Amino acid sequence: MTGSSSSSEPGRKGSVVFVVDDDDSMRNALSNLLRSVGIHVETFASTAEFLRQPKTEGASCLVLDVRLQGVSGLDFQAQLANSNANIPIIFITGHGDIEMSVKAMKAGAVDFLAKPFREQDLLDAVSAALQADVRRREIEQQFSDLHAHYQTLTVREKEVMALAVKGLMNKQIAGQMNLSEITVKIHRAHAMKKMQAKSFADLVRMAQSLGTGQGN
């Protein structure tokens, strides 16, 4: 690593950076750098050690050496993807080439840094990775909340919502479901309230996110 500079709030409070590198001196250097700007760091000499680490509830990212004993960093990236572990990855390597970096980035890596790299470049990459993980977690929480709201709907409310977001008028829904138009309006109003939709357009967007256009 070359060059030293502080980074303004590269991470969020409660976040953690995991470093996996089988070089003791590199692990220590990365740990000292990240801790110097207030980031919580946990280091591991192998991917096996990292996998034994309990999952964190806060935002996190992984600084991963490409060439490790046993499983390579790129192979480990694929393993994490297959297990739906969506942690952002920053690759570091002393043996990188264009083909390797392209493969890593196509597979979703945040950055690929060749040693020796500037300390500020790593801090910037970590900042971007943690921010990306914060956004991902926020989106996942929003979907979880949306799904929870949807599960509070009755079967009839779900059916009315599905038909309404397809563009059917209350009268058409009433005829299709063999209900009175007033009953359809009541079910629709209840669905709007339970889903916490501010407008019908909002309800349509929610239905699209949930994939509930078929009345399921």
Q: Tell me the CATH number at 99.
A: 3.40.50.2300
Residues 55 and 116 in one domain: yes
Q: What are residue 81's phi and psi, to 5 degrees?
A: -65, -40
Domain count, the chain: 2
pLDDT digits (tens, 9 = 90+) for 21-68: 998 999 999 999 999 999 999 999 999 999 998 877 889 999 999 888
The residue type found at 21 is D
Residues 88 and 63 in one domain: yes
What percent of the chain is predicted at pLDDT more than 90? 64
Range of the domain at 205: 152-210
Task: Please compute the mean of the pLDDT values over residues 131-154 and round it to a whole number.
Answer: 94
Residues 124 and 173 in one domain: no
Residues 119 and 22 in one domain: yes
Nearest to 83 by CA among 55, 58, 110, 104: 55
Sign of CA dihedral 53, 59, 63, 66: positive
The residue type found at 82 is N
Domain harbouring 186, CATH code: 1.10.10.10
pLDDT band at residue 216 using 50, 70 and 90 as cut-offs: very low
